[in-house]
Chains A and B, each alone.
Chain A
Amino acid sequence: AQKITQTQPGMFVQEKEAVTLDCTYDTSDPSYGLFWYKQPSSGEMIFLIYQGSYDQQNATEGRYSLNFQKARKSANLVISASQLGDSAMYFCAMRVGGSNYKLTFGKGTLLTVNP
């Protein structure tokens, strides 16, 4: 069975500072993908970044980077230069195998960016 653990129910960060959101995962399948999504109060899940289990380098997408530590089974999201619009719920999710089967989500972290 697959499992995603997000241990930070809420995080606070000052505008323009960097913040790290934690995610650990558990699976016995060697092929998997890790995702981070942002969910504002409107409800839509917005894709941020993806890391495949065989990717050699950590993924980056603009201000988002994924700190992938395979041996520790962690996939932390780093947001640089936080903006007020970054305030939202953030979810880590995992897909097992090479096909686009189900995503398993963590419970999420509520990020609040203070001015």
Chain B
Amino acid sequence: DAGVTQSPTHLIKTRGQQVTLRCSPKSGHDTVSWYQQALGQGPQFIFQYYEEEERQRGNFPDRFSGHQFPNYSSELNVNALLLGDSALYLCASSPLMGGNGYTFGSGTRLTVV
């Protein structure tokens, strides 16, 4: 049973560019969350999607946007990249309710130069 799959694994972008990161959730999970983890820090919650709608959002600017598709997969888009956006971006899937059921992917490491 496949877990959470994220692509790409590594990415280098230039300031001002736009980037799209992708996530396929674990089979049976319908909720996808995105986290940003700066070097040496714990993950920070960006937003969560359920039924193709943004269900909850953390303290991130509108440059960060997302989408969830009917097959529950998700994209994270970041516009007008800043050097400070360099981080590991983690995707986590879960059922909406019940259990201790967050499963994380291995992340996408984004470097902005």
Binding site for B on A (CB under 8 A): 4, 33, 35, 37, 42-47, 50, 91, 93, 98-108
Contact = CB atoms under 8 A, between A and B. Distances in A.
A100 B106 CA distance: 20
Interface of B: 31, 33, 35, 40-45, 48, 55-56, 58, 88, 90, 92, 94-98, 100-107, 109
B90 A45 contact: yes
Nearest to B58: A102
B96 A99 contact: yes
Contacts of A108: 41-42
Contacts of B56: 101-102
Nearest to B108: A43
A95 to B, nearest CB: 8
B106 A35 contact: no
Contacts of A102: 33, 45, 48, 56, 58
